[in-house]
Amino acid sequence: MTIQQLKVDLGDQRSYPIFIGSGLLNKAECLTPYIRGRQVCIVTNETVAPLYLQKLENLLSEDYQVSTLILSDGEKYKNADTMMQIYDHLLEKKHNRTTTLIALGGGVVGDTTGFAAATYQRGVNFIQVPTTLLSQVDSSVGGKTGINHPQGKNMIGAFHQPQAVIIDTDVLKTLPARELSAGLAEVIKYGLINDAEFYEWLEKNITILLSVDPVIMTEAIARSCQNKADVVNQDEKESGIRAILNLGHTFGHAIEAAQGYGQWLHGEAVAAGMLAAVDLSVRMGWVNKIEVDRLSVLLSNANLPVKLPPNMSTDQFLSLMIMDKKVTDGKLRLVLLESIGKAVVTEEASKENVVATIRACR
């Protein structure tokens, strides 16, 4: 299979390539041109390390001073304590301002490593090597980095663009089925917000995607990354249109915070949140009820939840949703759909309609 290359075009020195293909962890030419200096720190976790760390070390050890940090695995470790582990390692190994951090793992590794890179000695370079579908199509692209706080997800962080994103589709062969489905939630999101043709393609190919067919999977990843890049190119720091990438996330982040990070996977929470957002869009008079049913079928076929957690009260939902980063001056801003393939950020949803959606979708 040929290597697909996309570009996140932010002008000057913040633009970077996304490489997508089979066996990229064996291809130095996709990685080494984007390493600055001679020092490299690979940050990974205890699940990914036994599978892929040696491959990456073999690729770099002859030409670079490589140190490795293996973190605990799980969303609950996306916190300040983990950040301090990364800082401690960098200082202990005397990494300087020309070091390059490589995030080898899923979204937790990518977000925490990226935030460490943004803040260590006021900013060093890093490269994303995402190993889950969700991180390949979402968190590795766009430069959002950060950690969670007990009162809210991703409330502490920085925008810090990677030098490159290396997506080796072979790593998905070892991905648990539940993680694969969670990643498909973000893939489906791109069709809903920006690409109606892609959404129809997903409805036809979702079963093949679950089998990790390499050709179909590469196509889905490439189209997802291109959709995200198109949005990020227009709005790097989420001052406008980039907020549409958060379809379902206001509901979803509330689920994650209430249930405990990691109890619901991020993609699972987003899936239920997207269905709620489409239900609310119906109540706004923007889309037809048939779109709720259509999305419910697609999510079910992807083995994703289609109901909000029944153990969350309406008041609990509302109190957590108001902590969302999109809230301004106390007003809840939600990403809803005007039609399939066209998302909008709005403050127009009434509390009554939001409550009705929460009750209907539980």
Residues forming the active site = 122, 144, 186, 228, 238, 242, 246, 249, 253, 266
User: Do the bridges between strand 100-105 and strand 125-130 make them parallel or antiparallel, or are there none, so unpaired?
Assistant: parallel
What residues contact residue 50 under an 8 Å CB cut-off, 6+ apart?
A: none
User: Which long-range contacts link 269-273 to residues 24+ away (Cβ below 8 Å)?
Assistant: 270/185, 270/186, 270/189, 271/182, 271/185, 271/188, 271/299, 271/302, 271/304, 271/305, 271/306, 272/248, 272/304, 272/305, 272/306, 272/307, 272/308, 272/309, 272/361, 273/247, 273/248, 273/249, 273/308
Q: Are 192 and 340 in contact (CB under 8 A)?
A: yes
CA 136 to CA 106: how far, in whole Å? Answer: 8
Neighbours of 151 (CB within 10 A): 9
The residues that bridge with 65 in the sheet, in sequence order, are 39
Instruction: List, as one string, the DSSP characters of 305-316.
Output: --S--TTS-HHH
Amino acid, single-letter form, for residue 16? Y
Q: Nearest Cα to 108, choosing from 88, 128, 87? A: 128
CA 357 to CA 278: how far, in whole Å? Answer: 9
What six digits make up the tokens of 323? 């902590």
CA 232 to CA 32: how far, in whole Å? Answer: 25
What residues contact residue 329 under an 8 Å CB cut-off, 6+ apart?
A: none
Radius of gyration of the chain (CA): 20
Q: Are 53 and 44 in contact (CB under 8 A)?
A: yes
What six digits make up the tokens of 312? 């969350």
Q: Are 71 and 45 in contact (CB under 8 A)?
A: yes
